[in-house]
Amino acid sequence: MEDMVVVRKEGLYCVPGDFYIDPWRPVARAVITHAHADHARMGHAHYLASAPGAGILRARLGADIHLQALDYEESITHNGVRLSLHPAGHVLGSAQLRMEWQGCIWVASGDYKLEADGTCTAFAPVRCHTFITESTFGMPIYRWQPQAEIFEDINRWWRANAAEGRASVLFCYSFGKAQRILHGIDPGIGPIVCHGAVEPLNRLYREAGVFLPPTATVGEAEATRRGKSNAYAGSLIIAPPSAAGSPWMRRFGDYSDAFASGWMRLRGTRRRRAVDRGFVLSDHADWPALQEAIAASSAERVIVTHGQVATMVRWLQQNGLDARAFTTEYGDDDADDSSAAPPATAQEQPGHA
Amino acid sequence: MREFSRLYAELDATTSTTRKLAALQDYFQRADAADAAWAVYFLAGGKPRQAVPTGLLKQCAMAYAQIDEWLFEECYHSVGDLAETIAHILPPPTRTSDFGLAYWMLERIAPLRGAEPEVIRSALFAAWDELDWQGRFLLAKLIGGGFRVGVSRLLVTRALAAVAQLDPKLLAQRMVGWTDGRARPDAERFARLIGPDDGQDHRLQGGQPYPFFLAHPLIEHPRQLGPVGQWQIEWKYDGIRAQLVRRHGSNWLWSRGEELITERFPELAALDLPDGTVIDGEIVIRLPDSGQQAERVAPFADLQKRIGRKNLTARMLGELPAGLIAYDLLEQDGHDLRGLPQQERRARLEQLVQRHAAPALMLAPQIVAADWDALEQLRATSRQRGVEGMMLKQVDAHYGIGRTRNVGTWWKWKVDPYSIDAVLIYAQAGHGRRASLYTDYTFAVWDTPAEAGGERKLVPFAKAYSGLTDAEIAVVDQTIRKTTIEKFGPVRSVRPSMVFEIGFEGIALSTRHKAGIAVRFPRILRQRVDKSVDQADTLDNLRALLPSSPVTESEEDAQPAQQDH
């Protein structure tokens, strides 16, 4: 049988449906799994995305894009292909795309995470014949601790800094990771200040009904605390990695800095970052979760995209699956997080994590 | 183990000296004395022998994690550290335990040495069942024998001194010899280490040496150091820095790494000196015409042949006789002379060497010059003399501890390194902080000059992995990924496109290197973005740097083996 999804120079292409999935070049019809920049690009004539992610997509790509939004599990038929979106648990609005045509089912996962975090609908496995999976952390060295332990580590670090009269600056990706941290930490420790890249996303999350503790921008914080010498002592500052080393940081005086990312699992990466602390917190599935998701899909064929492609393909083949790779341009995310990852190679193109 | 792994994590997590010091003090205040004794051993740089062969450790980890060797290797290449790789791939533990570091060292790790593979396997599995990530990481490090902590010995000394409320100098003295494998760290030793000052410490027991006084590199011209007459000037020898201790009729020879190396140098073990004498100097290989003033000595490569041999044959002792070039006297008649001015110690040293003349005991000649300019001209002859440059010692300097400068200073004024423009042809990912970044490079020169015409080949001659900043490495890393021709395991061959100026300290003929040449301490001086690959140097350019009387390179690799001043 012909493949339902192939790679074209524009992106992943659904042949019978005549549409693209997260294309990296402008096309007529694009289905967007989630609003991270390497998956949701500008310039497509028509967009289809999940209803919970519509607000963020419009905020990032423009209010005037031609966007059709689908609720999770809701299905439509396009050129004979039955389409539906299912929660991927990655960030607000993230979805797996299910495509059914002539009795054959393919699922494109986009990016996903299995651990439910309360800031987006939890991942739901979808049974299919062919599963297109990411592999950002597709190596056995990547195993996450439960997030509650990581949040407790962050709280302890923040509390200790506050006790010593220092500010705590936590660098993380501004869409998804920042809100997950805000949702998970103990807001009783002190005031929370967010960078200008983070605050608009907080607003969108709150509008979508996600609980986030009160936050302020530096402008707001400084308006109320003007004149105090150590205005930020005891505060937690959430900022994108690109803010590190910028003049924006000077206002915080004495501070301890940290970085939250799955890449912090490796000591080498963490030490290269040269921050005081590295918190291992990822929006992607770790090695065991990737295996679990693949098994839960019950797919016999697996196609691996961005990440540890060669390793995953070989491992899956060894375990009796029909596995191969798609070469994509995913994983090459916004500049503010790609620098956190180990350098990219042909096989490993890490993105936000 | 949990206490020690927490300390390790804290030391590993911060670059701040203040925080490291606080973490160390906190640990030593709370730790059990037997555990603390082992902690001091490791923190001060102690390296026990490997308890389990690396291959077996790997096999066991793969079996426990149920992954194949290829997958393990992929993981290792991403992580760049064996112990860390093992800690990452193991599934979560099934239970918890909390035994101390001493228990792990003595009861769990020591019995593995030389045990049957099956015994080792079940012992490792049991250990992994009960240790968390940090514990497993440390266990693999402790077993593997290559444990290193990112903390200076000075800092450990300061922390212990603060906890014991003692003078750090006294603690430094007590710490000498701690990492020597023959004395086992235990609670009693730790108690003595931090015990109150009973005034007996100045009387050194047995063959203990003094903490070495270390020199600082002189970057600027010495003119800023004031009148040349205020300095005692010697050649900087390329040998092994050592203290020869004579007490109770016996000699002890200590390397600067505080390793006891007496057996390696029977010539020095046999030197007859008065009891209560400690000489600081440099071990070198003598030439027939070395003389009492060490005018000429054999190249370091010859010394390496001696270091590399377990059994010293009479023939080797005859062909490569070792000697000590004495340059300081730290103890005489059992009295600590370190508080005397440099020139006073020198005068006493001269008398001593004269009185106890022996071929294996030489005196470092003093270099006398009218002014700094004359001295600079003399320094230019360093290479012909087979030395690395000059040592400048303040005439009134006391003999300090480590790299201190509060009681006078020693400067090392080295000659500029040799340099050659070479092409990067292979790259390998680094380790630790440089894991998954291509940081270890192989450099090559052309086999024939461009004018010779015809097909030219690049011949590899050196590997280097230091000298670039992180930002420069990032750029080179990107180019390597873009110009990769082939991958062989962790190594990539690249299309020649980058030229670097490579510096090195020594050069010798070699039968084991493709280029027929081995260089010492190769490092990257800078990238020559102004040069194309065709303009890189040739083998002839390299050969032209060889000393006029060629020396063959040793069996040991041309890598830094001795410790620098």
Model confidence over B274-320: pLDDT tens digits?
999 999 999 999 988 777 777 778 888 788 888 877 778 888 899 99
CATH class of B418-543: mainly beta
Where does A147-279 sit in CATH, by number? 3.40.50
Structure confidence at residue B407 (pLDDT): 87
Kindly list the residues from chain B whose CB atom is less than 8 angstroms away from the CB atom of residue A342: 78, 435-437
| pLDDT tens-digit profile, chain A (353 residues) | 579 999 999 999 999 999 999 999 999 999 999 999 989 999 999 999 999 999 999 999 999 999 999 999 999 999 999 999 999 999 999 999 999 999 999 999 999 999 999 999 999 999 999 999 999 999 999 999 999 999 999 999 999 999 999 999 999 999 999 999 999 999 999 999 999 999 999 999 999 999 999 999 998 888 876 656 678 999 999 999 989 888 999 899 889 999 999 999 998 888 777 788 899 999 999 999 999 999 999 999 999 998 888 899 999 999 999 999 998 888 754 333 333 343 333 333 334 55
B472-482 mean pLDDT: 88
Which of B16, B70, B74, B476 best tests the A interface by mutation, with the highest count of A CBs <10 A? B74
Kindly list the residues from chain A whose CB atom is less than 8 angstroms away from the CB atom of residue B12: 267
Structure confidence at residue B565 (pLDDT): 43
Give tens-digit pLDDT for B143-183.
Answer: 987 788 878 888 899 999 999 999 887 888 788 778 876 77
Q: Which of A143, A274, A342 sits opposite B15 (nearest CB)?
A: A274
Helix axes B54-65, B117-130, angle to 10 degrees: 50
Give the chain A residue whose CA is nearest to the CA of B71: A311
Domain ranges in chain A?
A: 5-142+283-338, 147-279
B90-105 mean pLDDT: 92
| Count of residues in chain A | 353
Four-CA torsion B189, B191, B196, B197, nearest 10 degrees: 10
Kindly list the residues from chain A whose CB atom is less than 8 angstroms away from the CB atom of residue B80: 268
Reduce the DSSP state of residue A5 to 3 states and report it. strand
Q: Which residue has the higher pLDDT, B563 or B56?
A: B56
Measure the CA–CA gap between B173 and A223, rounded to whole angstroms.
Answer: 57
Q: Is A144 on the interface with B (CB under 8 A)?
A: no
Q: A316 to each of A56, A237, A309, A331, B89, how far by Cα in Å?
A: 35, 41, 11, 21, 17
B71-77 mean pLDDT: 91
CB pairs under 8 A between A and B: 76
Measure the CA–CA gap between A170 and A256, rounded to whole angstroms.
Answer: 9
Instruction: Please indicate whether, in this complex, the C-beta atoms of B75 and A140 are within 8 angstroms of each other.
Output: yes
Reduce the DSSP state of residue A203 to 3 states and report it. helix
Cα torsion A70, A74, A77, A81: sign: positive
B424-429 mean pLDDT: 91
Q: Which residue has the higher pLDDT, B508 or A108?
A: A108
Those residues with Cβ within 8 angstroms of residue B22's Cβ, 6 or more apart along the chain or in another chain = none
Q: Which of B70, B433, B478 sits opposite A268 (nearest CB)?
A: B433
Structure confidence at residue B557 (pLDDT): 36
Domain ranges in chain B?
A: 216-414, 418-543
Instruction: Please indicate whether, in this complex, the C-beta atoms of A343 and B80 are within 8 angstroms of each other.
Output: no
Q: Provide the 10 A C-beta neighbour count for residue B341.
A: 18
Q: Which of A141, A143, A272 sits opposite B433 (nearest CB)?
A: A272
Those residues with Cβ within 8 angstroms of residue B548's Cβ, 6 or more apart along the chain or in another chain = none
Minimum distance, in Å, between the CA of residue B456 and any CA atom of chain A: 31
Q: Is A102 on the interface with B (CB under 8 A)?
A: no
Residue-averaged pLDDT of chain B = 87
pLDDT reading at B464 higher than 50: yes
Is beta strand A81-87 parallel, antiparallel or unpaired with respect to B216-217?
Answer: unpaired
Q: B325 to each of A291, B237, B351, how far by Cα in Å?
A: 65, 9, 15
pLDDT reading at B96 higher than 80: yes
Give the chain A residue whose CA is nearest to the CA of B470: A272
Cβ atoms of A302 and A133 within 8 Å: the answer is yes
- For chain B, what percent of residues have pLDDT higher than 90? 51
Minimum distance, in Å, between the CA of residue A140 and any CA atom of chain B: 5
Nearest to A160 by CA among A172, A152, A149: A152
pLDDT reading at B559 higher than 50: no
Instruction: Please indicate whether, in this complex, the C-beta atoms of B71 and A267 are within 8 angstroms of each other.
Output: no
Kindly list the residues from chain A whose CB atom is less than 8 angstroms away from the CB atom of residue B89: 140-141
Structure confidence at residue A214 (pLDDT): 96
Structure confidence at residue A353 (pLDDT): 53
Give me the interface pTM, i.e. the ipTM: 0.88
Cβ atoms of B39 and B27 within 8 Å: the answer is yes
Q: Which of B74, B84, B481 sits opposite A139 (nearest CB)?
A: B74
Instruction: Please indicate whether, in this complex, the C-beta atoms of B435 and A277 are within 8 angstroms of each other.
Output: no
Measure the CA–CA gap between A111 and A113, rounded to whole angstroms.
Answer: 7
Helices and strands of chain A, counted as H and E runs = 9, 18
B134-142 mean pLDDT: 93
CB-based burial label for A15 (10 Å; 0-12, 13-18, 19+): middle
Query: b/e string for A145-171 if b means 16 or more Cβ within 10 A?
Result: bebeebbebbbebbbebbeeebbbbbb
Cβ atoms of A86 and A121 within 8 Å: the answer is no
Alpha helices per DSSP H over B356-422? 372-379, 382-385
Structure confidence at residue A228 (pLDDT): 65
Q: Is A344 on the interface with B (CB under 8 A)?
A: yes
Minimum distance, in Å, between the CA of residue B435 and any CA atom of chain A: 5
Nearest to A147 by CA among A168, A122, A125: A122
Structure confidence at residue A345 (pLDDT): 33
Instruction: Please indicate whether, in this complex, the C-beta atoms of A140 and B15 are within 8 angstroms of each other.
Output: no
Give tens-digit pLDDT for B102-126.
Answer: 999 999 999 999 999 999 999 999 9
The domain covering B216-414 belongs, at the CATH homologous superfamily level, to: DNA ligase/mRNA capping enzyme (3.30.470.30)
Confidence band for B433, pLDDT divided at 50, 70 and 90: low
Nearest to B560 by CA among B363, B388, B364: B388
Structure confidence at residue B564 (pLDDT): 39
Instruction: Please indicate whether, in this complex, the C-beta atoms of B80 and A318 are within 8 angstroms of each other.
Output: no
Measure the CA–CA gap between B219 and B198, rounded to whole angstroms.
Answer: 43
Q: Is A267 on the interface with B (CB under 8 A)?
A: yes
B29, amino acid identity: Q
B467-477 mean pLDDT: 87
Structure confidence at residue A336 (pLDDT): 32
Q: Under CATH, what is the fold of the domain A5-142+283-338?
A: Metallo-beta-lactamase; Chain A (3.60.15)
